[in-house]
Copies of this chain bind each other. A is one copy, B any other.
Amino acid sequence: MSTAEHTARTAGQPVGTAGEDGVLAALAGLLPSSRAALVGTGDDCAVLRAPDGRYCVTTDVLVEDRHFRTAWSTGHDVGRRAAAQNLADVAAMGARPVALVVALVVPPTTALSWVTDLASGLAAACEPVGAGVVGGDLSGGDHLVIAVTAHGDLEGRAPVLRSGARPGDLLVHAGTLGLSAAGLALLDAGAVTPRGPLPDEVRRAVEVFLAPQPPLEAGPALAEAGATAMMDVSDSLLRDAGRIAASSAVAIDLAEPTDPASATAVDLAALEPAARLLGAQDPRALARHWVLTGGEDHGMLAAVPPGARDQLPPGCRVIGRVLPAGPHGPRVTVEGVLPGHTGWDHFAA
Protein backbone atom coordinates (compact mmCIF):
# COMPACT_ATOMS: atom_id res chain seq x y z
CA MET A 1 0.00 0.00 0.00
CA SER A 2 1.45 3.40 -0.95
CA THR A 3 1.71 6.23 1.54
CA ALA A 4 -1.04 8.07 -0.33
CA GLU A 5 -3.35 5.06 -0.17
CA HIS A 6 -2.56 4.56 3.49
CA THR A 7 -3.34 8.20 4.21
CA ALA A 8 -6.60 8.07 2.29
CA ARG A 9 -7.76 4.98 4.15
CA THR A 10 -6.90 6.21 7.60
CA ALA A 11 -7.56 9.98 7.50
CA GLY A 12 -10.94 9.75 9.23
CA GLN A 13 -9.77 7.70 12.17
CA PRO A 14 -8.75 9.24 15.48
CA VAL A 15 -5.07 9.58 16.31
CA GLY A 16 -5.50 7.25 19.29
CA THR A 17 -6.63 4.44 16.99
CA ALA A 18 -3.93 5.09 14.41
CA GLY A 19 -1.23 4.95 17.08
CA GLU A 20 2.11 6.70 17.00
CA ASP A 21 3.44 4.67 14.08
CA GLY A 22 0.21 5.22 12.14
CA VAL A 23 0.43 8.98 12.63
CA LEU A 24 4.07 9.06 11.58
CA ALA A 25 3.26 6.94 8.51
CA ALA A 26 0.47 9.35 7.57
CA LEU A 27 2.84 12.32 7.90
CA ALA A 28 5.58 10.74 5.79
CA GLY A 29 5.86 12.58 2.53
CA LEU A 30 3.77 15.56 3.66
CA LEU A 31 6.61 17.52 5.24
CA PRO A 32 9.12 19.32 3.04
CA SER A 33 12.81 18.48 3.47
CA SER A 34 15.40 21.18 4.04
CA ARG A 35 18.14 22.04 1.57
CA ALA A 36 20.34 22.55 4.63
CA ALA A 37 19.81 19.01 5.97
CA LEU A 38 22.77 16.63 5.87
CA VAL A 39 20.69 14.21 7.99
CA GLY A 40 16.92 14.68 8.06
CA THR A 41 14.17 13.02 10.09
CA GLY A 42 14.42 9.47 11.41
CA ASP A 43 17.53 9.55 13.58
CA ASP A 44 18.15 10.93 17.09
CA CYS A 45 18.94 14.34 15.62
CA ALA A 46 18.87 16.08 12.29
CA VAL A 47 22.21 17.45 11.11
CA LEU A 48 22.05 20.83 9.38
CA ARG A 49 24.59 22.80 7.39
CA ALA A 50 25.75 26.15 8.80
CA PRO A 51 27.82 27.44 5.90
CA ASP A 52 29.08 30.58 7.64
CA GLY A 53 29.72 28.84 10.97
CA ARG A 54 26.69 30.30 12.77
CA TYR A 55 22.96 29.63 12.95
CA CYS A 56 19.86 31.35 14.35
CA VAL A 57 17.36 29.52 16.54
CA THR A 58 13.97 30.51 17.99
CA THR A 59 10.98 28.71 19.49
CA ASP A 60 7.29 29.59 19.77
CA VAL A 61 4.39 27.54 21.02
CA LEU A 62 0.67 27.52 20.10
CA VAL A 63 -1.86 26.20 22.59
CA GLU A 64 -5.44 25.17 21.75
CA ASP A 65 -8.03 27.60 23.14
CA ARG A 66 -5.27 30.12 23.93
CA HIS A 67 -3.80 30.79 20.50
CA PHE A 68 -6.33 29.05 18.30
CA ARG A 69 -9.70 27.29 18.44
CA THR A 70 -10.38 24.24 16.34
CA ALA A 71 -13.89 25.62 15.72
CA TRP A 72 -12.24 28.51 13.82
CA SER A 73 -8.92 27.18 12.59
CA THR A 74 -8.33 24.12 10.44
CA GLY A 75 -5.25 22.01 11.03
CA HIS A 76 -3.83 23.64 7.91
CA ASP A 77 -4.37 27.13 9.40
CA VAL A 78 -2.67 26.13 12.65
CA GLY A 79 0.27 24.59 10.80
CA ARG A 80 0.74 27.72 8.69
CA ARG A 81 0.46 29.95 11.72
CA ALA A 82 2.84 27.90 13.87
CA ALA A 83 5.43 27.91 11.11
CA ALA A 84 4.92 31.53 10.07
CA GLN A 85 5.43 33.09 13.48
CA ASN A 86 8.68 31.18 13.95
CA LEU A 87 9.90 31.88 10.43
CA ALA A 88 9.18 35.58 11.10
CA ASP A 89 11.50 35.50 14.12
CA VAL A 90 14.27 34.09 11.94
CA ALA A 91 13.68 36.66 9.19
CA ALA A 92 13.68 39.45 11.79
CA MET A 93 17.33 38.63 12.57
CA GLY A 94 18.12 39.19 8.90
CA ALA A 95 18.45 35.45 8.37
CA ARG A 96 16.95 33.08 5.83
CA PRO A 97 14.83 30.33 7.44
CA VAL A 98 16.11 26.85 6.64
CA ALA A 99 14.54 24.30 8.98
CA LEU A 100 11.92 23.60 11.63
CA VAL A 101 11.50 20.94 14.26
CA VAL A 102 7.98 20.44 15.61
CA ALA A 103 6.85 19.05 18.97
CA LEU A 104 3.19 18.12 18.78
CA VAL A 105 0.79 17.21 21.58
CA VAL A 106 -2.45 15.69 20.25
CA PRO A 107 -5.48 14.34 22.12
CA PRO A 108 -6.19 10.73 21.11
CA THR A 109 -9.64 11.75 19.89
CA THR A 110 -8.24 14.18 17.29
CA ALA A 111 -8.88 13.05 13.72
CA LEU A 112 -5.77 11.87 11.95
CA SER A 113 -6.81 14.17 9.10
CA TRP A 114 -6.38 17.18 11.41
CA VAL A 115 -2.76 16.20 11.95
CA THR A 116 -2.12 15.65 8.25
CA ASP A 117 -3.75 19.04 7.59
CA LEU A 118 -1.38 20.56 10.14
CA ALA A 119 1.53 19.02 8.26
CA SER A 120 0.29 20.46 4.97
CA GLY A 121 0.02 23.88 6.65
CA LEU A 122 3.58 23.66 7.92
CA ALA A 123 4.65 22.71 4.40
CA ALA A 124 2.70 25.58 2.84
CA ALA A 125 4.49 28.10 5.07
CA CYS A 126 7.93 26.54 4.62
CA GLU A 127 8.06 25.84 0.92
CA PRO A 128 8.03 29.43 -0.40
CA VAL A 129 11.24 30.16 1.54
CA GLY A 130 12.84 26.78 0.92
CA ALA A 131 12.68 25.72 4.57
CA GLY A 132 11.97 22.15 5.63
CA VAL A 133 10.80 20.15 8.62
CA VAL A 134 13.77 18.10 9.83
CA GLY A 135 12.49 16.55 13.04
CA GLY A 136 9.73 16.32 15.57
CA ASP A 137 8.15 14.64 18.52
CA LEU A 138 4.63 13.42 19.05
CA SER A 139 2.77 12.92 22.32
CA GLY A 140 -0.75 12.40 23.53
CA GLY A 141 -2.33 15.03 25.78
CA ASP A 142 -5.63 16.65 26.68
CA HIS A 143 -5.21 19.70 24.42
CA LEU A 144 -3.46 20.42 21.15
CA VAL A 145 -0.07 22.06 21.60
CA ILE A 146 2.32 22.83 18.75
CA ALA A 147 5.84 23.94 19.69
CA VAL A 148 7.96 24.88 16.71
CA THR A 149 11.68 25.64 16.76
CA ALA A 150 13.01 27.39 13.66
CA HIS A 151 16.56 27.73 12.38
CA GLY A 152 18.06 30.25 10.01
CA ASP A 153 21.15 31.01 7.99
CA LEU A 154 22.66 34.51 8.28
CA GLU A 155 24.45 34.02 4.95
CA GLY A 156 27.45 35.94 6.20
CA ARG A 157 25.47 38.95 7.44
CA ALA A 158 25.68 40.28 10.99
CA PRO A 159 22.53 39.44 12.96
CA VAL A 160 20.21 42.44 13.28
CA LEU A 161 19.40 42.82 16.98
CA ARG A 162 16.83 45.01 18.69
CA SER A 163 19.53 47.11 20.26
CA GLY A 164 21.17 48.91 17.35
CA ALA A 165 18.69 51.70 16.50
CA ARG A 166 20.26 55.18 16.48
CA PRO A 167 18.71 58.62 16.69
CA GLY A 168 18.10 59.82 13.16
CA ASP A 169 17.21 56.35 11.86
CA LEU A 170 13.93 55.81 10.08
CA LEU A 171 11.47 53.28 11.49
CA VAL A 172 10.21 51.08 8.66
CA HIS A 173 7.66 48.30 8.48
CA ALA A 174 6.87 45.58 5.95
CA GLY A 175 3.62 43.63 6.13
CA THR A 176 0.21 44.30 7.59
CA LEU A 177 -0.72 45.94 10.92
CA GLY A 178 -3.83 45.16 12.94
CA LEU A 179 -5.41 42.68 10.52
CA SER A 180 -4.98 39.73 12.87
CA ALA A 181 -6.54 41.64 15.77
CA ALA A 182 -9.44 42.67 13.55
CA GLY A 183 -9.92 39.09 12.35
CA LEU A 184 -10.00 37.84 15.92
CA ALA A 185 -12.50 40.52 16.91
CA LEU A 186 -14.77 39.58 13.99
CA LEU A 187 -14.70 35.87 14.85
CA ASP A 188 -15.03 36.52 18.56
CA ALA A 189 -18.12 38.67 18.04
CA GLY A 190 -19.66 36.10 15.68
CA ALA A 191 -19.72 38.77 12.96
CA VAL A 192 -18.25 36.25 10.53
CA THR A 193 -17.91 32.47 10.47
CA PRO A 194 -14.46 31.29 9.44
CA ARG A 195 -15.53 28.57 7.04
CA GLY A 196 -18.61 30.31 5.76
CA PRO A 197 -18.58 32.92 3.00
CA LEU A 198 -16.50 35.91 4.11
CA PRO A 199 -17.41 39.45 3.02
CA ASP A 200 -14.65 40.57 0.62
CA GLU A 201 -13.74 43.67 2.62
CA VAL A 202 -12.89 41.68 5.79
CA ARG A 203 -11.65 38.44 4.22
CA ARG A 204 -7.99 39.37 4.57
CA ALA A 205 -8.35 40.16 8.29
CA VAL A 206 -9.83 36.76 9.05
CA GLU A 207 -7.27 35.01 6.85
CA VAL A 208 -4.35 36.80 8.52
CA PHE A 209 -5.71 35.98 11.97
CA LEU A 210 -6.04 32.30 11.08
CA ALA A 211 -2.68 32.11 9.31
CA PRO A 212 -0.44 35.18 9.11
CA GLN A 213 1.70 35.62 6.03
CA PRO A 214 4.75 37.56 7.18
CA PRO A 215 6.87 39.17 4.46
CA LEU A 216 9.81 36.86 5.19
CA GLU A 217 11.92 38.10 2.28
CA ALA A 218 11.91 41.58 3.81
CA GLY A 219 14.01 40.43 6.78
CA PRO A 220 17.19 39.54 4.92
CA ALA A 221 16.53 42.42 2.47
CA LEU A 222 16.32 44.97 5.30
CA ALA A 223 19.52 43.53 6.78
CA GLU A 224 21.21 44.00 3.39
CA ALA A 225 19.84 47.55 3.29
CA GLY A 226 21.70 48.31 6.52
CA ALA A 227 18.96 47.87 9.17
CA THR A 228 20.38 48.84 12.58
CA ALA A 229 17.63 47.10 14.59
CA MET A 230 14.83 44.74 13.68
CA MET A 231 12.12 42.51 15.13
CA ASP A 232 8.84 41.08 13.98
CA VAL A 233 5.63 42.58 15.36
CA SER A 234 4.29 39.77 17.57
CA ASP A 235 2.60 41.65 20.39
CA SER A 236 1.78 45.06 18.92
CA LEU A 237 3.38 47.95 17.09
CA LEU A 238 3.47 50.02 20.28
CA ARG A 239 4.82 47.27 22.47
CA ASP A 240 7.39 45.96 20.00
CA ALA A 241 8.55 49.45 18.99
CA GLY A 242 8.91 49.97 22.74
CA ARG A 243 11.20 46.93 22.91
CA ILE A 244 13.44 48.35 20.20
CA ALA A 245 13.41 51.71 22.01
CA ALA A 246 14.31 50.11 25.34
CA SER A 247 17.01 47.83 23.87
CA SER A 248 18.52 50.65 21.83
CA ALA A 249 18.11 53.37 24.52
CA VAL A 250 16.29 55.64 22.10
CA ALA A 251 12.84 57.15 21.69
CA ILE A 252 10.60 56.22 18.78
CA ASP A 253 7.93 58.45 17.34
CA LEU A 254 5.32 56.73 15.19
CA ALA A 255 3.26 58.25 12.43
CA GLU A 256 -0.37 58.96 13.36
CA PRO A 257 -2.52 56.43 11.44
CA THR A 258 -5.45 58.84 11.27
CA ASP A 259 -3.28 61.36 9.42
CA PRO A 260 -4.14 60.72 5.76
CA ALA A 261 -0.55 61.58 4.78
CA SER A 262 0.97 58.93 7.05
CA ALA A 263 2.23 55.58 5.83
CA THR A 264 -0.10 53.77 8.23
CA ALA A 265 -3.21 55.50 6.87
CA VAL A 266 -3.45 52.57 4.45
CA ASP A 267 -3.54 50.11 7.37
CA LEU A 268 -6.25 52.17 9.02
CA ALA A 269 -8.28 52.16 5.81
CA ALA A 270 -7.91 48.38 5.47
CA LEU A 271 -9.32 47.94 8.98
CA GLU A 272 -12.27 50.30 8.89
CA PRO A 273 -14.65 47.84 7.15
CA ALA A 274 -14.07 45.33 9.95
CA ALA A 275 -14.71 48.01 12.57
CA ARG A 276 -17.93 48.98 10.78
CA LEU A 277 -19.05 45.35 10.47
CA LEU A 278 -18.64 45.11 14.23
CA GLY A 279 -20.94 48.10 14.64
CA ALA A 280 -18.27 50.20 16.33
CA GLN A 281 -19.49 53.65 17.37
CA ASP A 282 -16.25 55.14 16.04
CA PRO A 283 -14.88 52.72 13.43
CA ARG A 284 -11.88 54.95 12.79
CA ALA A 285 -10.89 54.90 16.45
CA LEU A 286 -11.20 51.11 16.63
CA ALA A 287 -9.14 50.74 13.43
CA ARG A 288 -6.49 53.03 14.91
CA HIS A 289 -6.49 50.91 18.08
CA TRP A 290 -5.89 47.76 16.00
CA VAL A 291 -3.02 49.37 14.05
CA LEU A 292 -1.24 50.38 17.23
CA THR A 293 -2.08 47.56 19.64
CA GLY A 294 -2.92 44.55 17.47
CA GLY A 295 -0.36 41.76 17.43
CA GLU A 296 0.38 38.62 15.43
CA ASP A 297 0.53 40.00 11.92
CA HIS A 298 4.28 39.32 12.25
CA GLY A 299 5.43 42.09 9.92
CA MET A 300 9.05 43.24 9.96
CA LEU A 301 9.75 46.37 12.04
CA ALA A 302 13.20 47.85 11.53
CA ALA A 303 15.29 50.94 12.05
CA VAL A 304 17.34 51.94 9.03
CA PRO A 305 19.79 54.80 8.50
CA PRO A 306 18.17 57.84 6.83
CA GLY A 307 20.29 57.27 3.73
CA ALA A 308 18.47 53.97 3.10
CA ARG A 309 15.14 55.74 2.44
CA ASP A 310 15.49 55.52 -1.31
CA GLN A 311 16.67 51.90 -1.38
CA LEU A 312 14.11 50.28 0.87
CA PRO A 313 13.19 46.71 -0.12
CA PRO A 314 9.78 46.15 -1.75
CA GLY A 315 6.89 46.44 0.68
CA CYS A 316 8.78 48.52 3.25
CA ARG A 317 7.41 51.93 4.22
CA VAL A 318 8.57 54.54 6.71
CA ILE A 319 6.18 54.61 9.68
CA GLY A 320 8.18 56.60 12.22
CA ARG A 321 11.53 57.90 13.29
CA VAL A 322 14.14 57.21 15.93
CA LEU A 323 14.95 60.07 18.32
CA PRO A 324 17.32 60.58 21.22
CA ALA A 325 15.86 59.14 24.44
CA GLY A 326 15.39 62.52 26.12
CA PRO A 327 14.65 63.19 29.78
CA HIS A 328 11.88 60.55 30.00
CA GLY A 329 14.15 57.76 28.77
CA PRO A 330 13.31 55.27 26.02
CA ARG A 331 9.65 55.46 25.03
CA VAL A 332 7.26 55.38 22.12
CA THR A 333 5.04 58.26 21.08
CA VAL A 334 2.53 58.74 18.25
CA GLU A 335 3.18 62.10 16.61
CA GLY A 336 4.68 63.22 19.91
CA VAL A 337 1.79 61.97 22.08
CA LEU A 338 2.13 59.13 24.61
CA PRO A 339 -0.38 56.37 23.86
CA GLY A 340 -2.39 54.83 26.68
CA HIS A 341 -2.52 51.25 25.55
CA THR A 342 0.48 48.96 25.05
CA GLY A 343 -0.66 45.49 24.00
CA TRP A 344 -1.49 42.43 26.00
CA ASP A 345 -0.18 39.83 28.41
CA HIS A 346 -0.23 36.08 27.72
CA PHE A 347 -1.74 35.46 31.14
CA ALA A 348 -4.31 38.24 31.04
CA ALA A 349 -7.96 37.32 30.63
A residues sitting closer than 8 Å to B (CB atoms) are 15-16, 18-21, 38-39, 42-51, 53-63, 65-67, 88-90, 92-93, 95, 99, 101-105, 108, 134-143, 145, 147, 149-152, 154, 159, 161-163, 230-232, 247, 345-348
Contacts and interface: CB of A to CB of B under 8 A. Distances in A.
A100 to B, nearest CB: 9
Contact of A145 (B105, B161, B346): B105
A69 B62 CA distance: 22
B103 A103 contact: yes
A50 B54 contact: yes
A90 B48 CA distance: 13
Given A60-B103, A135-B57, A108 B347 contact: yes
Given A15-B347, A67-B139, A145-B141, A58 B38 contact: no
A147 B67 contact: no
A93 B63 contact: no
A66 B140 contact: yes
A345 B18 CA distance: 11
Most chain B beta carbons < 10 A, residue from A50, A57, A63, A231: A57
5 contacts: A46-B57, A50-B53, A61-B105, A63-B140, A67-B139
